Structure 1
């Protein structure tokens, strides 16, 4: 179950953490590479802002983006902006998302997202929380997977494990941090793989942000995950 009001508060807190950290950058460092291939920190900040507006579109019954090309073009257009403009855009777009989230609505309704994906409206605040937290890490400015709130890490592992559940390219897999366990992968009759490690390392592997080299796979090989 998703508590959209609680998640909206978590989004607000995560956004403030990101803005406070990013405010220590300057115009030169915003133009430097982020941890995402081919993207500067300006690209990441632009994406965070445009994602907020896209989710407002979804909440209000419009397509998230006019097209994939328009999405990419908007990020490229906004990436070179100076730091103060970037931060204002992230802050203002975040406020628009919070305002849309506070409007009376049927949170059990189904919404259309990108690429034909549909989901229940109440999941959107958590999806936004993930965008803010993980892209804060992607900025490469000292906020690491180990710094993420424990609740978020556990829930995002659950979310990603569910996303790969039934995927034909992923063998049946149990993921565990020694305390909790998640199942993912296909329902095929292949031998089950067990992947063990600290929760931040598990999240890094599932989200494509770490190689999984620090994870333990007794008697097996770490599954190769398809792109998200």
Structure 2
């Protein structure tokens, strides 16, 4: 599967699946577990969950932009984005789970409300890319699916993610990293390697983290 064959409907389904995986993984975490390190160096699980929740809020700004035509950036500044991540260290386990769930539900409802015309309106991502609103579900799918693994609870691995999602992820990262060849191995392990996450591929060169 290539990026060209990925559809918004695919991405919506992957975002729903990833959200369910993430919520399930976070459901059993208590206060010490949220304060413990995630699989992302330097990030606690609380930081990670706060980041994903804040991402839903930020994507909601782009949904508003598409729905109304009112320019609404994802984040007011890089400092605001960083503050959203840091907020994870200040919230209780219950507050983190509530924010994660409520922000995901609100984003899904906003996406559900877009009309055919609004889906094709252009918005600007936090990285400055101009994209149609049809890209928003894919942006969310990447966040929830990859970070469900990054939570590091042992409940979700790359092998648990939808195969179509992994194929689309591999194609996108391969293109962005400018790679012409990929190592042989199972699709989940290739995806993990490309994303700069732990993998079981032998002799694959090290890559920095992506996303």
Specify if TM > 0.5: yes
Q: CA deviation at 1:124?
A: 1.2
Q: CA deviation at 1:8?
A: 2.2
Q: Name 2:196's counterpart in structure 1.
A: 208
Separation in 2, partners of 1:226, 1:11: 21
Which of 7, 17, 30 is matched with 1:3 structurally? 7
Q: Name 2:59's counterpart in structure 1.
A: 55
Q: Higher RCO, 1 or 2 (CA under 8 Å, sep at least 6)?
A: 2
Change (3 A) 1:213 1:149: closer
Segments of 5+ residues of structure 2 without an aligned counterpart are 66-71
Q: Is the CA contact (8 Å cut-off) linking 2:48 and 2:88 kept in structure 1?
A: no
| Aligned-pair Cα RMSD in Å | 2.1
If each structure's strand is expressed as a fraction of its own residues, which one has the higher value? 1
Segments of 5+ residues of structure 1 without an aligned counterpart are 166-171, 176-194
Separation in 2, partners of 1:224, 1:33: 21
Deviations 1:19-56 (A, max 9, x none): 12211111111100111111100001000100001111
2:131 counterpart SS class: strand
Which segments of structure 1 move beyond 3 Å, counting only runs of 4 or more?
Answer: 222-228
If each structure's helix is expressed as a fraction of its own residues, which one has the higher value? 2
How many residues in Structure 1 have an aligned counterpart in Structure 2? Answer: 198
Which of 101, 113, 129 is matched with 1:117 structurally? 129
TM score, norm. by length of structure 1: 0.78
Deviations 1:33-82 (A, max 9, x none): 11111110000100010000111112222100010111101221233312
Separation in 1, partners of 2:13, 2:207: 35
**Which of structures 1 and 2 has the bigger CA Rg?**
1
